[in-house]
Amino acid sequence: MADDGARLRAGLGHPVIDADGHWLEYGPVVGAAMEKIGGEPAVRAMHINGERVRRSLRMTSAERRRENVAQEAFWGAPTKNTRDRATAMMPRLLYERLDEFGVDFAVLFPTMGLGLPRVNDAEARTAACRAFNIYQAELFEPLKDRMTPPAVIPMHHPEEAIAELEHAVGELGLKAVMLNSMIDRPIAKVAEDRPEAADLAIWYDVIGLDSAHDYDPVWRTCRELGVSPTFHRGSRGRAFRMSPSNFCYNHIGHFAAASEAVCKAIFLGGVTRRFPELNFAFLEGGVGFACLLYADLIGHWHIRNRDALEDVNPANLDTAELVALAEQYAPPEMAEAIRSGNGISTNSGTRTTGGLDELDDYAACGIASVEDFNTLFVEPFYFGCEADDSNNAWAFNRDCNPGGAEIKTLFGSDIGHFDVQDMSEVVTEAYELVEDGRIDADGFRRFVFENPVNFWGKTNPAFFDGTRVASEARALLEA
């Protein structure tokens, strides 16, 4: 029923914060605004941003197969539920319906705007992000007590990221930011040897590790401005998500895969060690991958930390004992080969390590004990979870997660997109975790209220000032 969300909210005793809803830009209006604010380059970015999808949908499956083009989404917005379609398009209507949904405050990400920081045209990209942020700031200003839009931040180069952070946050007053990730970079050898094919051979820069640039100045700027970086990037149409005929094949898991790549890079690159004041959120990919990643990072550290590597250091091989065992148990030809040293290396120099001087993959994190994973992963990382994802309960299962950890979840409704068939049901659907006994009421409170407040509020204690949840958020942050 349409008022179920309101009735549920009335009985909770705490606010509900939607950390990842969406609004749908109406092309003719946003296009005119982008041209007025950003001129031809901003309009060009809009065209580049949408062309991959348009081109895919103009092709047949056979044509996509020939060119290795992924089947893109079709029919991706609400239609049968016309009121929900209008709600996604018209922020004032969404504002009016939030009480019906049972939501007190919403962070509303764009739809078309998600792709603007990804445009591989520097002039168009920076102009479009600047124009879009101005447009968003003006559009949502009258509604700021119930909703806020994140600034879209280009990340192809640290300087452009810093410039737009300072503009969007420092000048426009936007409080949330969405940073680009998984940036397409040309492979140097191909660009040099086969320049005509350079656009067909790329690598993905995941920002935190082995990047083309030093992004510490960006994290430093986020810290100075008091903003928590969020990532909302997918991997559809890349690598193993390249079906020319099946969109669901390409879509399932693509947010989780992109989020894992960036989260893992930020952790292993030592970003959370160097910037302990920052929180990072990875949206729409759920938390199941994060639970796996957390456990895998700890498991690999146990067997690949610098001390543990001595168990597999070739210099530690007792060749005399190996020869003796071979003479007793191996076939003659194998024993002879071992005696001669054929195929047995005791060289522990850089030739056997790929030229690495630092052998500890966790060196940038400064891991001294397993407890450091709580400080560097569990504390700063938050993961956006949709209402209907049954894996959400995994994050709360302290018996399952190493060290009894609870991985931090953020409730993200994803309203405005095709996977939400009825906006009025998102909060009640999320609460089924409690009704089914998979998490308790305190866990639900953390999911929909405490975690969002801590994610944004610990970086910027004034984030929720002037909003519907100001007093509750302030009390939590000061507790």
Give the model's pLDDT for residue 200. 84
User: Please, which residues have CB within 8 angstroms of residue 60's CB and are 6 or more apart in sequence?
Assistant: none
Token pair of 206 as six digits: 């995941």
Closest CA to 285 of 383, 415, 390, 408: 383
Q: Is the pLDDT of residue 370 over 90?
A: yes
Query: What is the per-residue pLDDT across 187-215, written as a single tens digit (0 to 9) for each?
Result: 999 999 999 988 889 999 999 999 999 99
Q: Is residue 376 part of a domain?
A: no
For residue 356, being part of any structural domain is answered with no
Kindly report the backbone phi and psi dihedral angles of residue 62, in degrees, each rounded to the nearest multiple of 5, phi listed first.
-65, -40
Structural domain harbouring 76 = 4-302+384-478
| 270 in a structural domain | yes
Query: What does the pLDDT read at residue 346?
Result: 73
Residue 47 has pLDDT above 80, yes or no: yes
| Domain boundary pick from 323, 347, 371 | 347
Residues 78-92, mean pLDDT to the nearest whole number: 93
Examine the domain organization and report whether 343 and 410 are in the same domain. Answer: no
Q: How confident is the model at residue 349 (pLDDT cuts 50, 70, 90)?
A: low
Q: Are residues 118 and 183 in the same domain?
A: yes
> Mean pLDDT across the stretch 150-162?
98
Domain tally, the chain? 2
pLDDT score, position 155: 98
Inside any domain, residue 402? yes
Against a cut of 0.75, is the pTM above it? Answer: yes
Question: Residue 354 has what pLDDT?
Answer: 86
Segment 286-303 mean pLDDT:
97
3-state secondary structure of 118: helix
* 208 and 103 fall within a common domain: yes
Judge whether 461 lies within some domain: yes
- With a cut of 60, say whether residue 36 has pLDDT above it: yes
190 class by beta-carbon count within 10 Å (0-12 exposed, 13-18 middle, 19+ buried): middle
Residue 250 forms part of a structural domain:
yes
Quick one: which H or E segment has residue 21? strand 17-22
Does one domain contain both 469 and 421?
Answer: yes
Pairing of strands 280-282, 381-385: parallel
274 and 129 in one domain? yes
pLDDT band (50, 70, 90) for residue 2: low
Task: Tell me: do 339 and 392 sit in the same domain.
Answer: no
Same domain, residue pair 133 and 241: yes
**Residue 352 in domain:** no
Same structural domain for residues 327 and 400?
no
- The amino acid sitting at 278 is L
CA distance 97 to 108: 14
The encoded tokens of residue 197 equal 């094919």
Do residues 260 and 293 make contact, with C-beta atoms less than 8 angstroms apart? Answer: yes
Which tokens go with 273? 């060690």
Is 350's pLDDT higher than 90? no
Q: Residue 359, by phi and psi: left (phi above 0), alpha (psi -120 to 50) or beta?
A: alpha
Evaluate if residue 452 carries a pLDDT over 80: yes
Residue 315: is its pLDDT beyond 90? Answer: no
Domain containing residue 122: CATH number:
3.20.20.140
**pLDDT (0 to 100) of residue 77:** 83
Whether 26 and 129 share a structural domain:
yes
DSSP 134-199: HHHHHHHGGGTTTEEPEEEE--SSHHHHHHHHIIIIIIT---EEEE--SEEEE-HHHHHH-GGGGG
User: For the chain, how many residues are written?
Assistant: 479
Q: Is residue 399 domain-resident?
A: yes
- Please provide the average confidence, as pLDDT, over all residues in the chain: 95
Angle separating helix axes 4-12 and 91-101, nearest 10 degrees: 60
Q: Within this chain, do residues 218 and 331 fall inside the same structural domain, yes or no? A: no
Give Cβ neighbours of residue 420 (< 8 Å, ≥ 6 apart).
Answer: 78, 84, 413, 414, 426
pLDDT at 384: 97
243, 318: one domain: no
Element (H, E) at 52: helix 27-58
Note the pLDDT tens digit of each residue in 94-143: 999 999 999 999 999 999 999 999 999 999 999 999 999 999 999 999 99
Are residues 162 and 204 located together in one domain of the fold? yes
* Whether residue 396 has pLDDT greater than 90: yes
| For residues 21-41, average pLDDT | 96
Closest by Cα among 111, 270, 131, 122 to 183: 122
Distances (CA, A) of 473 to 168, 304, 342, 444, 476: 24, 42, 67, 16, 5
| pLDDT for the residue numbered 256 | 96
Residue 1's pLDDT is what?
55
